[in-house]
Chains A and B, each alone.
Chain A
Amino acid sequence: MANWSDIALATIPAAPLAAAIWCGTVAQVVRRTTAHRPVVLALALSLVAAAYVLFVVVPGSVVDSPAAHSQITPIESSGESLVKPISLIASETPASATGEHHGPAHKAYIFEVYRWMSVGGLTVDIVLRADAMTALMLVMVNFVSLLVAIFASSYMHGDKGYPRFFGAMALFVFSMNMLVLAGNFIEVFIFWEAVGLCSYLLIGHWYHKPSAAAAARKAFVVNRIGDFGLMTAIFLIYRTFGSVDFETVLDPARLAELAAAQPGLITTIALLLLLGAIGKSAQFPLHVWLPDAMEGPTPVSALIHAATMVTAGVYLIARTTPIFVHSPTAQLVVAGVGATTALVAAVTALCQYDLKRVLAYSTVSQLGYMFMALGAAAASPALAAHAETFAMFHLLTHAFFKAVLFLAAGSVMHAMGDVIDMRRFSGLKKALPITHITFLCGALALAGFPLLSGFWSKDEILAVVWEATQTGDYKTYFYLILGVGLLTSLLTAFYTFRAYYLTFHGPERFPEEAGHHPHDASPAMAIPLYILAALAVVAGLILGPTHIYAHYIEMTPNFPTAAPAGMNVGMMILSTVLALGGIGLAYSIYGKATRPEYSDARPLSLWENVSLNGLYLDQLYGALIARPMATLSAVCEFVDRMILDKIVDAVGLIPIIAGGMIRPLQNGLVSSYAAVMLLGVIVALASVLRAIASVT
């Protein structure tokens, strides 16, 4: 009987994996229409296990020091006494340095599943590693996944690839759980790729649509650039540290030594990790894949491209904060990338007509916020804790309100007969009351309406950036970042409510695809919407000002320590004003009866065009990268076909010609074979005679 912690840890990835296998094999043949049941069940199991990890395993894993001896839980002691492969690796937080540490030092709970390989100096174990950050991510991932799966069971009803969809989704949750639970960089990389693969599969779920297939390919190819960075970073990490285990690599004392000796190396590793994160989290130069990824089914957009997978980059940087702490340069780059992304995506979102694209750019923009927060630690190491805490906090709240927004958008799409262009429908408030109210909750949260979750987390991020402007050497830089953050905050409120007003207010219009009477969300769709909306409203209030979240995440080993953040009242007021200003601006333009009606006839202004086309980045990439590559490949093809192939053909001609010269011998006539044989006998005889004669 293994102990409960191991079982919980193993259940988290194992249950979705089993569901994925079921959907991939059995459900393809029988029980196609109920393929969602095992997935929902598995996700519920995982959620329970994740909650167990959150509430029991992580708080229970404390460093076994005399001071904290009394706090050892029975679970841990039983684990040590009964199960061998469990190792609780202590990584002491430098409590003595700060002296402000409360409670016992925590460590990661590690369940070694098996040793995967041991090659030369490289040893890779498949381990499940749980600490506070992991636990929070796990609960968030499994919770949102569960709700999205329930939503999708109704949304995808009647789809031809129903079991395939749920299989890929379960596989995704498995991969994401493993990515979060990873105990070394190799595991991170494997499941980093696995979530990318699932994303590809799900974006291309309707692979018969050329745009979906192209979007899937684009997502995969763009992600590859980031994966290259991550891979190189892992190579460098192995070369530098001789290990890929988190416990070894992220040891603060060792990192400090190394950073003193080789600051350039640490910066390089950090920047390469950042490249990986940029690809996965759709940050500025590589963000172009995410809006296209909206070609996938909406539940997928909600789950993967808003709540979970795209936050993997943020998670990776947060996880490797001990490395980033030693490289202010890298952190400045992180902040710069985040700010640029936030602003670019927000500007792009302003004029989009596609509801899901608005939300996609909004996702990109919010991820930029998280990066901004993570980068703010460059100002002083003391800020690192706040930066990490609030980036992760924003990640959590964002997952809730973005999921609800996407699911509501999916509900709109469902009712409108798969039309998502906001120019073709309006005034859905009456027709879709459930969708309307939940979307409003999400939009308010996203806009940063006071006391809702987005308000708390975004406000904290701005507060961290504000603190960064007060200390350290990069004040001007962070003033700029802060300005961008505030501007983006205004823009976010504006475009969110522009979408809201365009969709739900104004004269009631339905596209013809919707049929006679659009129907609102079915119960299976409504319940997740309500739950997520409720969380979007209250999660920030419960977890933010009370510091529950901040205290919990401090239990992460190697977490930079700092004093608890106080309220930044000035920043709160400022961001409230901006949010309300954005909402008011949107209302003044789109909320009234005299709002501008979009039609294809009206010419768009220059700014609208720029915004609509996403600053023409796709076209820029096409001209700068894709077209030269196409030209190069055409040249290569010509060389290959006209020169190399001809050479190969010419070489191939030699045996044909040589064979043609000898072929007449093989004419099938017995007599000619006999003649050749006779010739052979003569030659043999003659040579024997010569040999005899030469002996004498």
Chain B
Amino acid sequence: MSPDPSHYLVVGALLFGLGAIGFLTRRNLILMMLSSELMLHGVSVNLTAFSQYHGQHDGQVLTIFVLTIAACEAGLSLAIILALYQRTRSLDIRLWTTLGEEELMPPMADSASREIEPPAQPLPKLVPAGRRPVIGADGHVVTPVLSNSQASGKGAKA
């Protein structure tokens, strides 16, 4: 028997609110999931506080269920996030606005979304040793076309 659960409720409310703020501000898919877990924590604190207040197990049991569902959610969301990541090579939620009105793309364009540029120019790939790689105008390694005679002749010179 504890006196007043109000202290725990306050903490629960704060955690819940922080989680909500995190969910709204984060653009990383994984961190959005984490923010929602924080909201679940807030709820769990409330549940245990009432469990203590009433001297019953129900709150704790509910918390266990919350845990279970959170685990499921984590597993599924990670799978989904990975699938999305495969598509865009990015965890940005702003790339997934296909539910919106098409003409409004890009949504709420701000400085941040403009930062997302296409992947930087690919790193030059290593060529077999022995020759200095020729880098073309597009930044790629120009693979020299070798005929048999030339290859043998140049190879002899080198």
Contacts and interface: CB of A to CB of B under 8 A. Distances in A.
A and B, direct touch (CB closer than 8 Å): yes
B104 interface: yes
Interface string B69-103: 00000000000000000000000011011111100
A664 interface: yes
B24 A669 contact: no
B23 A669 contact: no
Interface in A644-696: 663-664, 666-672, 674-675, 678
Find the residue from A664, A667, A668, A674 having the highest chain B CB count within 10 A: A668
Contacts of A678: 20, 24
A516 B11 CA distance: 114
B24 A667 contact: no
A675 B24 contact: yes
Contacts of B24: 671, 674-675, 678
A672 B101 contact: no
Interface residues on B, range: 10 to 19
B112 interface: no
A678 B35 CA distance: 14
Contact of A672 (B20, B98, B108): B108
A669 B20 contact: no
A671 B23 contact: yes
Contacts of B23: 671, 674
B131 to A, nearest CB: 50
Contact of A667 (B25, B27, B32, B107): B107
B20 A668 contact: no
Interface string A544-567: 000000000000000000000000
A669 B101 contact: no
Contacts of A670: 32, 93, 96
A669 to B, nearest CB: 5
B99 A668 contact: yes
A669 B98 contact: no
A671 B104 contact: no
Contacts of B108: 667, 669, 672
Interface in B95-123: 96-101, 104, 107-108
Given A671-B23, A671-B24, A672-B108, A666 B101 contact: yes
A663 B101 contact: yes
A675 B23 CA distance: 9
B101 A667 contact: yes
Contacts, number: 44
Interface string A36-54: 0000000000000000000
Residue of B32, B97, B100 ringed by the most chain A CB atoms within 10 A: B100
A688 to B, nearest CB: 15
Contacts of A669: 93-94, 97, 100, 107-108
A658 to B, nearest CB: 14
Contacts of B94: 669
B9 to A, nearest CB: 14
A74 to B, nearest CB: 86
Contact of B97 (A668, A674, A675): A668
Contacts of B32: 670-671
A124 B27 CA distance: 77
Nearest to A667: B107
Contacts of A667: 97, 100-101, 104, 107-108
A664 B99 CA distance: 12
Given A678-B20, A678-B24, A671 B101 contact: no
Nearest to B97: A668
A689 to B, nearest CB: 13
Contacts of A663: 101, 104
A672 B98 CA distance: 14
Contacts of B99: 666, 668
A679 to B, nearest CB: 11
Contacts of A672: 107-108
A346 B34 CA distance: 103
A664 B104 contact: yes
Nearest to B99: A668
Contacts of A666: 99-101, 104
A219 B27 CA distance: 76
Nearest to B27: A671
A604 to B, nearest CB: 71
B6 to A, nearest CB: 15
Nearest to B36: A674
Nearest to A659: B101
Interface in B1-42: 20, 23-25, 27, 32
A671 B92 CA distance: 12
B57 to A, nearest CB: 28
A670 B29 CA distance: 10
Nearest to A668: B100
Nearest to B107: A667
A672 to B, nearest CB: 7
A131 to B, nearest CB: 75
B153 to A, nearest CB: 61
Contacts of A668: 96-101, 104, 107
Given A664-B104, A668-B99, 11 more contacts: A663-B104, A666-B99, A667-B107, A668-B98, A668-B100, A668-B107, A669-B107, A670-B93, A670-B96, A671-B25, A672-B107
11 contacts: A666-B104, A667-B97, A667-B100, A667-B101, A668-B96, A668-B98, A668-B101, A668-B107, A669-B97, A671-B23, A671-B24
Question: Which 6 pairs across A and B sit closest by C-beta, in order of nearness?
Answer: A668-B100, A668-B97, A667-B107, A668-B99, A667-B100, A669-B107
